[in-house]
């Protein structure tokens, strides 16, 4: 798997920006590789994060990880990027406050 190849190449971290939200035939292999590597970060997506009082915050997860991925992950990030008026996504908040 990609995780195993990157670990063998000496990667200190493997960070995915793809949501693992739909069941796939290789999920068990990905989860197993992430558990063994102990350096893999998976994302979630929040529902409509809002800018208030100088911080970006969210109150609900829109797309969570499939079972097993959260336990296998070294950490969890997010893939929210707000679209500008023309539909382009030019920036993302580096931090979203949640709970």
Distance CA 56, CA 49 (A): 6
pLDDT at 14 over 90: yes
Confidence category of residue 6, pLDDT binned at 50, 70, 90: very high
Distance CA 63, CA 46 (A): 7
| C-alpha distance from residue 69 to each of 20, 48, 81 (Å) | 8, 23, 22
pLDDT at 15 over 90: yes
The pLDDT value recorded for residue 53 is 87
Distance CA 93, CA 64 (A): 19
pLDDT tens track for 23-47: 999 999 999 999 999 999 999 999 9
**How many C-beta atoms lie closer than 10 Å to residue 52's C-beta?**
9
Confidence category of residue 51, pLDDT binned at 50, 70, 90: confident
- Mean pLDDT, the chain, rounded, equals 93
């Amino acid at each position: 798997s990609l995780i195993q190849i990157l670990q063998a190449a000496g990667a200190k971290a493997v960070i995915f920006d793809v949501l693992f939200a739909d069941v796939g035939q290789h999920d068990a292999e990905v989860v197993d590789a992430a558990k063994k590597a102990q350096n893999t970060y998976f994302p979630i997506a929040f529902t409509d994060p809002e800018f208030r009082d100088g911080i970006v915050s969210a109150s609900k997860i829109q797309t969570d990880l499939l079972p097993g991925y959260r336990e296998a992950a070294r950490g969890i990030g997010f893939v929210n990027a707000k679209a500008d008026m023309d539909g382009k996504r030019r920036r993302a908040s580096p931090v979203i406050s949640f709970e």
